[in-house]
Amino acid sequence: MGVGFISCSFKSLVSVLSDPKGGEIVLLFPGGALECFYNQNQPQRFRCVVKQRKGFVKAAFVSGAALVPVLTFGENDLLAVRGSFWKHISFITKKFPTLASGLFYGRGVFQDNFGWVPRDIPLMTVVGTPIKVSKTEYPTSEQIDDLHEKFQEELVKLFDKYKYQYFDSPQDKCLELE
């Protein structure tokens, strides 16, 4: 809390985004730990867990805040899971986000072979065009679904636009939405 973190609850999001003083940006990772496990050691696949996550869209409507699609290229290679036993454990624990730590490796502080520090790999974060949202205190499920669909389309467009800059063989790469 001391560094500006807030709860990702609907109430917290709307409170920060509706502040009349403005100037606040909320960065939310809808995929969370599940998305992290899906993408480990799978350099050809990129999965965004967003299809069943619609609370952030409703919060955008209630607060009138724009939705901005953002992707970071290179995240799949920061950490890895070694061996099939650990991969199996990782996919079991994805259902329990509180257990989703400690089953990966990266590099050490003083060496690059093994440790808990993410690997020294360049990351590139790309930001899409903001999707303007009109403030609606009680959005309908149809409004939420339409905006959610538009957000997903913008994520795919963003990935397709930038994959040619950040991958050696971009034709093999695709973004899967779950």
Q: What are the backbone angles phi and psi of residue 32, rounded to the nearest 5°?
A: 55, -145
Q: What pLDDT, in 10s, does the model give residues 25-72?
A: 888 777 666 666 665 556 566 788 889 889 999 999 999 999 999 998
Q: Please tell me the predicted confidence (pLDDT) of residue 36.
A: 63
Helix (H, G, I), strand (E, B) or coil at 115: coil
Q: Please tell me the predicted confidence (pLDDT) of residue 102.
A: 45
CB 115 within 8 A of CB 29: no
Read off the tokens for 142: 């149809």
CB 105 within 8 A of CB 115: yes
Read off the tokens for 80: 């890895």
State percent of the chain over pLDDT 90: 32
Confidence of residue 162 (pLDDT cuts 50, 70, 90): very high
Chain mean pLDDT for the chain? 78
Q: Please tell me the predicted confidence (pLDDT) of residue 139.
A: 97
Q: Please tell me the predicted confidence (pLDDT) of residue 73.
A: 84
> Can you give the pTM of this predicted structure?
0.78
Closest CA to 159 of 75, 69, 52: 69
Where in the chain are the domains?
A: 39-78+125-178, 79-120
Closest CA to 148 of 62, 65, 53, 64: 53
Q: What pLDDT, in 10s, does the model give residues 74-128?
A: 776 666 655 555 555 555 555 555 544 445 556 666 666 666 566 667 888 999 9
